[in-house]
Structure formats: C-alpha cells, structure tokens
Amino acid sequence: MTSISKSTKIWKNVDRDIFLETIKPRARPAILKGLISHWPAVAKGRDSAAALAEYIRGFYNGVPAPLFEGAPEINGRFAYKADLSGFNFESKRAPLNELLDWLIAHLDAPNPSAKYAGSLSLATYIPDFAKENSALGLIPAPSVIQSIWIGNRTCIAPHYDNPENLACVVAGRRRFTLFPIEQMKNLYIGPPDMTPAGQIVSLVDTRAPDLEKFPLYAEAAAAGEIAELEPGDALYIPSLWWHGVESLSPFGALVNYWWRDVPDYFAPPMHTLLHALLSLKDLPPQQRAAWKSVFDHLIFEMNGDPLAHLPEKARGAYGGLTPEIADYVRTYLARSLTR
C-alpha cells in the first residue's frame, strides 16, 4: 500500500485580505481552519445529525433532487464497474426529504448502502439556506455557483474541476486526497466520454491503491497531499487540482463555492480540448509538433509577448479578449463547425 505523507497547510483566522493576498497566490490547496464555524448549520450539526437534517428540511422547496446510491459491497466508493461497462451505482430524482429520512434512520447501521445527493444548487433546492450560511465575502468573483452535498460514508474518485473551489464542511469529517495537475499522467484516467458526473476521474482507489495494476500511481502519491477537515473547516482547491473526497461520518454535509477568475464571456478551456480532437489530435506527428510550436508562441507566450512589435490596434483578436471579440470568435467558430 502506498500512503501519502504530506498534509495540506492549515491557515487560521483567515479573512478576505489574507485569502486574496497570501493564500490564493500560492496556487496550492489550503485548509482554512474554522472559517464557517459560526454558521447556524454547523451549530445544528454539532447538536445532532437529526437537528441538521431538520434544519435543511426547513429550507427545502420540494423540487426532486438527483440522488445516488451504491450497494454496501462498493464500500462507499462511487466508480466504474470492474469491466468499465458502466457504473457501480444507480441514480434517480426524488424528494430530498427521502434521503434525509433514510440517512437519519440508518445512522447506526453497521454496513448500509452508500447514498448521497450531489452538487445540489442552493438556489434551486434550498434557496434561503444561503441567507443564514454564506462564505461569499471571501470570494473575488461576481458569479459564483453555490451547491451542497449531503450523504453518509462515501468516496468520490479523484477528479479535477476548471473553476476555483472553496469546500466548506458543515457536518461530518472529510478527507481530501489532492494532486497537482501534472500528476494526471500517473492517475490512470477512466473513459473520458463516460464519467460519473461529467469530469474525468482516476481509476485508482486512493484508500488502497493497487500498484500492480497502477504502478505509476506511486509517483502521484509522492507528489500528493492529504487534507483532513472537521465541521466548520473549509478547503481551498485551486483550479485543476485533482481531488478525491471521502466522507467519513454516517451523516455529512458540505457546501461548495465554484468560481472562475475570468469574466463570464471567457469560454471553458474544455471547449478547446474538444476542438483539438477535431483538428489536432490525429494529425501526423510532425504536423502536431508544429502546431504545438504555434500554440506555445501565440497562446502560452513561451517566448514572451508574441505581438509586442505590433501597435495595439493591429493585434486584433490575439491582443486580448473583450466581450465583443469573444462574440466575434464564437460566431466564427459556429459557422466553421457547421458541415
């Protein structure tokens, strides 16, 4: 078994200035100790799981929610079937109260099914929850996605997200296993076109990695780190950091904040990856290498500003993205992709 020895750095008494000026520029995960310990929801969870469930139930508007369930045999790990023909869990839409009732009824069950409601939009399902429980003051973005996760002992496979992420533990203990994006080559990704929740995931069970099947994972583990969180703690996960999430308690709740550091008119980089499948990936090797040089020069600016010798008015779309230029590029791409 390969264990990860490094622990994520802990920061105490974090305010907006410390977060923006010291923590965020490091571009590394950071535990923000006790950041949301003042939330009423955290206090309810400390009273009891039943008290928190009732508190959440008071905000719920009845909209059917996506619920996920795995048999006891999966040991909480939501992943693929052994032959990669599908997933080892089922999903459905049902009232959130159904999950809350089940979780409370099975708090002491020795080997229950694994169940959770994942990435529920606060605005869609419990819209007034954020009026009493919010960490928006820390986040430097006008557009933020706020969501909640509720479940029992579950294990979500390592994956990465494009947005910045602030994960706030409301109830139950959580363990995050984190890797920099450079370790993607050592994490043995699953089928990119068939993912559990839209993001590429690792096939490695980080709780008990099989190094005979996944030998390169040892390199990922050497570069990884572990973040252990208690109720009231938060974890900052920079964009594109791989993270697996374990809920270690029979009743857990976590609130996520996702945001991007660019205006909304910027397209997701995943769109570029998909365009590359159409235009670059299967080119002859020498042509692919040549296009890499073009991208390195014009996009990644490996040689400095490639247009420094041009006046600003002559730089066109390559001189910097504006809402108008973004609209022009989208229109051009839409026309060019129509066969």
CATH topology of domain 10-259: Jelly Rolls (2.60.120)
Percent with pLDDT over 90 in the chain: 93
d(CA 172, CA 168): 11
Residue 41 phi/psi, 5-degree rounding, is -65, -40
pTM: 0.94
Question: For 219-251, how does the pLDDT look when each residue is reduced to its tens digit (9 = 90+)?
Answer: 999 999 999 999 999 999 999 999 999 999 999
**β-pairing verdict for 30-33 and 145-151:** unpaired
Counted residue by residue, the chain has a size of 339
| CATH 2.60.120.650 residue spans of the chain | 10-259
Structure confidence at residue 167 as a pLDDT band (50, 70, 90): very high
Contacts of 156 (CB under 8 A, 6+ apart): 78, 244, 245, 246
pLDDT value of residue 197: 86
Question: For 135-145, how does the pLDDT look when each residue is reduced to its tens digit (9 = 90+)?
Answer: 999 998 989 99
Task: Tell which residue, 117, 165, 168, has the closest CA to residue 145.
Answer: 165
d(CA 321, CA 265): 9
Residue 94, pLDDT above cutoff 50? yes
Question: For 263-293, how does the pLDDT look when each residue is reduced to its tens digit (9 = 90+)?
Answer: 999 999 999 999 999 999 999 999 999 999 9
Span 85-103, average pLDDT: 97
CA separation, residue 307 to residues 98, 104, 299, 311 (Å): 59, 61, 11, 8
CA atoms lying within 13 Å on the CB side of residue 58: 12
Span 96-103, average pLDDT: 98
Structure confidence at residue 1 as a pLDDT band (50, 70, 90): very low
Residue 206, pLDDT above cutoff 60? yes
